[in-house]
């Protein structure tokens, strides 16, 4: 384990919602090959690391650990410390499919030679220690990625793509470019944050409707099938307990979010909000927050 500090990026996209910048990739098809998984390099560079951006955050449903997907790979955050997990991969998209089971997308690090660039959709079943390609290697860099019921995957790499198994894909349509995608656990509801406002799908991303009464959220996630959590560009935390039908404002953090995670696995709403300066955690439904990296 090691201590690391967050530094503010030199420039921030001056829009209401910092939309993803993935290039439009039109190529169809998927890879059925299963090459050897990527493994961590023998020498860690984590000691000198300064994290500049976190692309995704989630709680592992098995052990409750807070996961941070970054330009420099996967980390856990707890007790004032960051711990590096697995190889250095630029994780542009990240989602948790189950305990120790994660999906991701992005680019291989300099020491990772057994993954294509972009990596397409990759998978780990050992908590991030090793990663293996699933599909679209060399084709897709999913900047928004989520997994839903029965292994369904939804990703945006310039166009919206759906898969029932992470290997074969079909193109879908979304009214606006999503910054984040979030599928409800065990259900067909999906939320998408966009510069035009929150979009909601009740059929796994086949059709979308604009949620005119919802706040303009920059990031959003689900804690369970009924509870959703989002953060607006100003840093106000919003919660919904009716499957995103209505929203209530909560704590104002005063800084834009990079990622949000939430869970009710232990019957309490636990929230984590990552900013450029801190990893803020709440175990009381968002009433109060403490810095997970403040020892």
Is 50 exceeded by the pLDDT of residue 27? no
pLDDT band at 295 (very low <50, low <70, confident <90, very high): low
| Confidence band of 53 (pLDDT split at 50, 70, 90) | confident
Q: Could you identify the residue written with the tokens 């979304």?
A: 174
- Residues near 187 by Cβ (< 8 Å), separated by ≥ 6? 148, 149, 225
Q: Tell me what the pLDDT averaged over the chain comes to.
A: 84
pLDDT band at 26 (very low <50, low <70, confident <90, very high): very low
For the question of whether the overall pTM of this predicted structure is more than 0.75, the answer is yes
Mean pLDDT to the nearest integer, 266-278: 92
The pLDDT confidence band at residue 51, using thresholds 50, 70 and 90, is: low
Domains and CATH numbers, the chain: 51-228+239-247+258-264 (2.130.10.10)
| Interatomic CA distance for residues 198 and 160, integer angstroms | 16
Look at residue 43 and tell me whether its pLDDT is greater than 70. no
Residue pair 38/105 in contact (Cβ under 8 Å)? The answer is no
Residues 175-227: tens digit of each pLDDT: 999 999 999 998 899 999 999 999 999 999 999 999 989 999 999 999 999 99
Model confidence over 67-88: pLDDT tens digits?
999 999 999 998 888 899 999 9
């Amino acid at each position: 384990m090691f201590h690391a500090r967050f530094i503010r990026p030199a420039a921030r996209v001056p829009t209401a919602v910092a939309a993803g910048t993935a290039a439009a990739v039109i190529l169809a098809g998927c890879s059925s090959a299963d090459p050897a998984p990527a493994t961590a390099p023998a020498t860690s560079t984590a000691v000198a690391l300064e994290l500049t951006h976190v692309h995704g955050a989630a709680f592992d449903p098995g052990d409750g650990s807070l996961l941070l997907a970054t330009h420099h790979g996967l980390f856990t955050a707890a007790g004032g410390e960051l711990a590096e997990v697995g190889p250095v991969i630029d994780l542009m998209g990240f989602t948790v499919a189950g305990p120790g089971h994660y999906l991701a997308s992005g680019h291989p690090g300099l020491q990772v030679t057994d993954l294509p660039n972009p990596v397409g959709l990759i998978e780990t079943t050992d908590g991030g220690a090793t990663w293996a390609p699933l599909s679209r290697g060399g084709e897709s860099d999913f900047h928004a990625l989520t997994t839903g019921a029965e292994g369904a995957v939804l990703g945006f790499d310039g166009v919206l793509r759906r898969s029932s198994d992470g290997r074969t894909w079909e193109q879908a349509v979304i009214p606006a470019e999503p910054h984040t995608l979030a599928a409800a656990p065990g259900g067909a509801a999906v939320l998408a944050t966009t510069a035009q406002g929150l979009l909601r799908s009740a059929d796994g991303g086949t059709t979308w409707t604009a949620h005119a009464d919802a706040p303009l959220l920059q990031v959003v996630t689900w804690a369970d099938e009924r509870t959703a959590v989002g953060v607006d560009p100003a840093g106000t935390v919003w919660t919904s307990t009716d499957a995103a039908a209505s929203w209530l404002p909560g704590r104002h953090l005063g800084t834009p979010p990079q990622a949000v995670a939430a869970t009710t696995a232990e019957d309490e709403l636990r929230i984590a909000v990552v900013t450029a300066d801190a990893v803020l955690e709440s175990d009381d439904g968002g009433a109060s927050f403490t810095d997970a990296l403040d020892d």
